Amino acid sequence: MTKKQKIEVKPGTCIPWEQKLKEIPEISGDKTLTREVWEDIDALGYMYIWQCLLSF
């Protein structure tokens, strides 16, 4: 069995940018813009999960 890595996740985040950056190929465009878009989309996912949890 393999041990899972402990990942520090900030509040309001599902998958931290640092972790996602390791999974995707090299970014050829604006890295700051890419990070901002990822963090915005990730925050929406986080809010959706909490809304579903609190609604039911």
Query: pLDDT class for 3, splitting at 50, 70, 90?
Result: low
pLDDT for 19-52, tens place per residue? 999 999 999 999 999 999 999 999 999 999 999 9
Question: What pLDDT sits at residue 2?
Answer: 62
Closest CA to 46 of 22, 5, 12, 2: 12
Question: What pLDDT sits at residue 34?
Answer: 96
Question: What pLDDT sits at residue 56?
Answer: 78
CB atoms within 10 A of CB 31: 11
Distance CA 52, CA 56 (A): 6
What does DSSP assign to residue 56?
Answer: -
Contacts 24+ apart (CB under 8 A), 27-30: none
Question: What pLDDT sits at residue 38?
Answer: 96
Q: Quick one: average pLDDT of 5-29?
A: 89
